[in-house]
Amino acid sequence: MVPPTRKRRRLTWLWIALGVFAVAGVGVVIAVTLFIRTVSGPIDATNEVLAEIKAGDYPAAFRLSCSDERIRLNQEQYIRTFEATIEEHGAITAYNVNYSSVHGNRADVRFDIEFEDGESMRLEARAVKEGGRWRSCILTT
């Protein structure tokens, strides 16, 4: 006697479901990556400026600042502003850029700075996208 042949199950639905999940997964990865890039741009720009200020390289911080800031303040005024703050509180010991809210080519950024004298400040600034690059405006809001 010949054994009965088994009907082969079709798994088409499984392959379609796996394809849909794969496409959705790729979409989620792309969306998260774009979101992180959008939010991190202003944070990165502000971190760059703060790193130069912490290092005492105020001319470099000035060059990294937004054009609005460089128009409103000349390099000497910019440097004097930070020198006065450092003279009052001591050197910057730490900083943390902890918030960014992007609105097109403009962003609001919040950061904390700690000084040698133990003083800490929570400050807000803006960042703008100029020529495809985010630039921080720490002194002009």
Query: How many domains does one find in the chain?
Result: 1
62 in a domain, yes or no?
yes
Give CA–CA dist 4/17, Å, rounded: 31
9 in a domain, yes or no?
no
Percent of the chain with pLDDT over 90: 69
Mean pLDDT over the full length of the chain:
87
130 in a domain, yes or no?
yes
- Across 52-72, average pLDDT: 95
Give CA–CA dist 114/95, Å, rounded: 6
* Model pLDDT for residues 70-114, shown as the tens digit of each residue: 999 999 999 999 999 999 999 999 999 999 999 999 999 999 999
28 in a domain, yes or no?
yes
CATH of the domain at 82: 3.10.450.100
How far apart, in Å, are the Cα atoms of 53 and each of 33, 94, 136? Answer: 30, 11, 13
126 in a domain, yes or no?
yes
Segments forming the whole domain that contains residue 39: 21-137
